Amino acid sequence: ASERVFNFAPGPATLPESVLLRAQSELYNYRGSGMSIMEMSHRGKEFDGVIKKAESDLRALLGISDDYAVLFLQGGATTQFAAVPLNLCAGPDDAADFIVTGSWGDKAYKEAAKYCRPNLLWTGKPAKYTAIPPFDARSLPQNPDARFLHICANETIHGVEFKDYPVPENRDGILVADMSSNFCSKPVDVSKFALIYAGAQKNVGPSGVTVVIVRRDLIGKAQPITPVMLDYKTHADSASLYNTPPCFAIYICGLVFEDLLEQGGLAEIEKKNAHKAGILYDAIDGSGGYYACPVEPSVRSLMNVPFTLQKSELEKKFIDEAAKEGMVQLKGHRSVGGVRASIYNAMPLAGVEKLVAFMKDFQARHP
C-alpha cells in the first residue's frame, strides 16, 4: 500500500506487508472461528494449531533438532539476561564468561552479576564498540570453570555482528547467544549453541514474545530462587502454555516464519540481506568521507547500519529531510547519536535503494 513509509526503526520494526495484510484479513473472524486470535482461549484447538505450526516452521527454518526445546516466552530479551544465569548456574558463586561487543551485551553482563559471577573476557567499550576480538586462546583466554560463555550475536545500537562464533572452552562447552536483532536473518548452526534467545520485535514479529531455543539437557537445573516464570522447565514441560502466552504476537511470528519459508528459507534471506546491506555500506564508503561507519568492515552488521556525517551539524537535517520523503526512524540511538538504518528482513530492497539515492542527493545539495 503506497501510504506506508519505509520504516528504518530498530524495533519494534517493519513487518512484511503480506503478513500485515494476511493478519488484517484474519483479524475479525479467524478462519471461521467467529472470533479473533486475541479473543480466543490459548487452550483451544485454533490456538493450539497456531503455536504448533509456529514452532515447527521455526524448527524447519533454523534446522533445530529435537535435542532443543523451542519456547515462546514473555518479558523480552531483557528478562533472559536474568533467566540465563538462573537456569545455567547452580548458584550465585558459579562463574560465567562474557564477551561484550556493545551495550546489549553489557546489560546482559551486568544483570548476570545478581545471579552468578560474571567474568568480562573482553569489552569493546574503550573503542566505542566497533570491533569483535579474535577468539584464539591467547587473545581471549576463557575460564574453564565457567558455566557458559555469553555473546550478543548482533549489537543493535552499535551495528557489530559476529560472522563466526567462539568455541566455548568452559566445562560443558556452553555457548549462549542473544540473537534478538539478527534472528532468522541468515542460517545459523544451532548445534553450536546451547541456548539462543531473541526478542521478536526486530525480525520476526511484534514485541511481546521472546523466543528461547535451549538444549533439553540444560533444562531442570535452575537455581532454587528462580521464579517459576523464569524457569525453562516450567515452559518446556507445558509447551509454552503454562500460563497465558502472548497469543497474538505468537500468531504474527508464525505468519512471518511461513513467509520466510515461502521465500526459500534463511539462505535466500541472507542473500537478500547481504545485498541490501552491501549497497548501503558501499554508499557510505564511496562518499569520499561525507558519510562514515565506525565499525570494522569485517564485523559490520547486515541488520543495523550506523553512520555519521562528516558535518555532524547536518545530521538532524538529514534525518528530517529523509522523513519528509517517507524514510523514517533513521535517528541513531540516543547513546551514540548519528544515523542508524535498521534494515531487517522485512525492509524491502526498494527502501534501501531509496535511502542510498537520498544520501547521494543530500550530499550533492550540501557539499
Nearest-approach distance from CB 324 to ligand PMP, in angstroms: 26
Binding residue for ligand PMP, selected from 130, 142, 170, 181, defined by CB under 6 A: 181
Binding residue for ligand PMP, selected from 46, 48, 53, 76, defined by CB under 6 A: 76
Residue 273 near ligand PMP by CB under 6 A:
no
Residue 156 near ligand PMP by CB under 6 A:
yes
Cell of 164: 563466526
Nearest-approach distance from CB 233 to ligand PMP, in angstroms: 22
Q: In this structure, are residues 11 and 76 in contact, taking their beta carbons and an 8 Å threshold?
A: no
Binding residue for ligand PMP, selected from 199, 205, 294, 332, defined by CB under 6 A: 199
Which 93-132 positions form the footprint of ligand PMP (CB under 6 A)?
A: 104
Residue 152 near ligand PMP by CB under 6 A:
yes
Which residues fall within 8 angstroms of residue 104, CB to CB, at 6 or more apart? 77, 152, 155, 156, 157, 178, 180
Residue 345 near ligand PMP by CB under 6 A:
no
Q: What does the longest C-alpha to C-alpha distance in the chain come to?
A: 63
**178 catalytic per annotation:** yes
**CA distances (Å), origin 238, targets 38, 50, 189, 274:** 20, 15, 26, 38
Q: How far apart are CA 333 and CA 339, in angstroms?
A: 8
**202 catalytic per annotation:** yes
Question: Which residue among the candidates 178, 259, 276, 331 is catalytic per the annotation?
Answer: 178
Question: Which residue among the candidates 186, 202, 276, 331 is catalytic per the annotation?
Answer: 202
Q: Would you say 77 or 309 has its CB closer to ligand PMP?
A: 77
**331 catalytic per annotation:** no
Q: In this structure, are residues 201 and 174 in contact, taking their beta carbons and an 8 Å threshold?
A: no
The residues facing 212 across adjacent strands are 71, 197
Which residues fall within 8 angstroms of residue 152, CB to CB, at 6 or more apart? 100, 101, 102, 104, 105, 108, 177, 178, 180
Q: How many residues bind ligand PMP (CB under 6 A)?
A: 11
Q: How far apart are CA 213 and CA 228, in angstroms?
A: 18
Residues that bind ligand PMP in the complex, under the rule CB under 6 A: 11, 76-78, 104, 152, 156, 178, 180-181, 199
Would you name the residues annotated as active-site residues?
A: 104, 178, 202
